């Protein structure tokens, strides 16, 4: 996981923990409305609490097992975690750039590609000039690695 991904998960965890008192208050207010069997507000608040607690547990687990790797301290000519990789589609000449990140911080719209994705797995270990064939949902894609950089 990159430092940015770790910070984002830590911020989400803090926000969820800050939400706990508000959810407890919602449960208390809903409980005062009477019969709990037919109290939709109470059940909704309890469900919200359950989802919140499950997400807190999930994030705490991920953070406790995370290995934070700062890509700015890495170097080399081969593609690996944290690399910024520029690819040229050999079929249409279109150039795309991706940073290989952990699964929890991937966002294709921001050019962050999960290290576990088929494209990233095909790229790992490649160098500038290497050709890569990737089986995508729309068929086989052929790329050439144009650049590998760090930072």
State pLDDT tens for residues 83-109: 999 999 988 889 999 999 998 889 989
Q: How far apart are CA 94 and CA 143, in angstroms?
A: 10
How many folded domains does the chain comprise? 2
Same-domain status, 27 and 81 = no
Q: How far apart are CA 55 and CA 51, in angstroms?
A: 6
State pLDDT tens for residues 49-70: 999 999 999 999 999 988 888 8
Same-domain status, 10 and 33 = yes
For 133, residues 6+ apart whose C-beta sits below 8 A from its C-beta are: 122, 140, 141, 142
Q: How far apart are CA 17 and CA 53, in angstroms?
A: 9
pTM above 0.85, yes or no: no
Residue 71 near residue 150, CB atoms below 8 Å: yes
Same-domain status, 105 and 140 = yes
Strands (E), 9-138: 84-89, 95-101, 112-114, 131-136
CATH at 52 = 1.10.287.180
Domain containing residue 59: 3-65
- Measured CA distances, 103 to 41, 66, 112, 115 (Å): 35, 11, 9, 7
Report the candidate in 110, 119, 118, 114 with the shortest Cα–Cα distance to residue 145.
119
Residue 3 has pLDDT above 90, yes or no: no
Same-domain status, 45 and 111 = no
């Amino acid at each position: 996981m990159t430092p940015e991904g770790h910070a984002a998960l830590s911020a989400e965890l803090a926000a969820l923990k800050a939400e706990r008192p508000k959810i407890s208050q919602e449960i208390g207010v809903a409980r005062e409305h009477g019969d709990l069997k037919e109290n939709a507000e109470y059940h909704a608040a309890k469900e919200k609490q359950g989802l919140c607690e499950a997400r807190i547990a999930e994030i705490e687990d991920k953070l406790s097992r995370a290995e934070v790797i700062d890509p700015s301290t890495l170097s080399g000519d081969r593609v690996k975690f944290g690399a910024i990789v520029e690819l040229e589609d050999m079929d249409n000449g279109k150039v795309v750039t991706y940073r290989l990140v952990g699964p929890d911080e991937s966002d294709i719209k921001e050019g962050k590609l999960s290290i576990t994705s088929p494209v990233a797995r095909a790229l790992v270990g490649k160098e500038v000039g290497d050709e890569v064939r990737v089986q995508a949902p729309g068929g086989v894609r052929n790329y050439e690695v144009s650049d590998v950089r760090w930072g």
